[in-house]
């Protein structure tokens, strides 16, 4: 899987930084949720590889500013299944399933399978929140980086619709501390 990491570094600007931040935040959320050591290790790996399928998506679509056309959305939405196919023979089955389901929504409106609530693997529900937090607080081709407080308010407003309420609670616990506990003083990739 190391070759895939290099590929992520070379594909879209900041994908490599994004997946590492998501990995760290996922583990921090998992710790608040009281997950065991094996699941925390799987979360770290799943965080880093959750978007690995994007290396097979056209970079022009991934970095397109502004709204995407229908066929481009369809294309991007293939990345969880592409990532699963890449991971399934190499990584723990729980990691592969987390990659597959990291865009499922708590209310069933996500993809690829439209799973609902606790049907969604728990680690995938954690990665979804970490992914959203990092997407909102990072600069993207289609939006500026928004402040942490804004990201938290957005995520709280989607608790129980997009996100597992228990994971949102864990994010609030982290927010009541200091995010430097999560990311340390090290440069954020
Ligand atoms: Fe993704």
User: What pTM was computed for the model?
Assistant: 0.92
For the purposes of burial, counting CB atoms within 10 Å of the CB of 93, is it exposed (0-12), middle (13-18) or buried (19 or more)? exposed
CA distance 83 to 116: 21
CA of 132 to the centre of ligand 1 (A): 10
pLDDT digits (tens, 9 = 90+) for 18-27: 899 999 999 9
CA of 100 to the centre of ligand 1 (A): 9
CA of 45 to the centre of ligand 1 (A): 14
CA distance 113 to 109: 9
User: What domains are defined for the chain?
Assistant: 2-183 (1.10.3210.10)
pLDDT digits (tens, 9 = 90+) for 57-75: 998 898 888 789 999 999 9
Instruction: Collect residues with CB below 5 Å from ion ligand 1.
Output: 51
Structure-token pair, residue 107:
């209310």
Residue in this structure with the two tokens 């600069």, named with its chain if needed: 139
Structure-token pair, residue 168:
């949102």
pLDDT digits (tens, 9 = 90+) for 166-184: 999 999 999 988 777 677 6
Asked if residues 126 and 39 have their Cβ atoms less than 8 Å apart, the reply is no
CA of 116 to the centre of ligand 1 (A): 18
CA angle 181, 148, 185 (to 5 degrees): 30
């Amino acid at each position: 899987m190391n070759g895939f990491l290099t590929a992520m570094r070379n594909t879209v600007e900041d994908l490599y930084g994004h997946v590492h931040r998501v990995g760290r935040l996922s583990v921090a959320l998992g710790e608040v949720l009281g997950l065991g050591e094996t699941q925390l290790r799987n979360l770290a790996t799943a965080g880093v590889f959750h978007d690995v399928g994007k290396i097979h998506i056209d970079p022009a679509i991934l970095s397109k500013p502004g709204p995407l056309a229908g066929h481009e959305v369809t294309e991007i939405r293939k990345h969880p299944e592409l990532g699963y196919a890449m991971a399934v023979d190499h990584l723990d089955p729980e990691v592969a399933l987390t990659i597959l389901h990291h865009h499922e929504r708590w209310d069933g409106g996500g993809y690829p399978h439209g799973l609902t609530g606790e049907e969604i693997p728990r680690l995938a529900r954690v990665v979804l929140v970490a992914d959203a937090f990092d997407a909102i607080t990072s600069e993207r081709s289609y939006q500026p980086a928004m402040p942490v407080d804004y990201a938290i308010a957005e995520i709280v407003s989607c608790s129980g619709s997009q996100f597992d309420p228990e994971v949102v609670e864990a994010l609030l616990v982290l927010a009541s501390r200091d995010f430097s506990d999560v990311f340390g003083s090290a440069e954020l990739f």
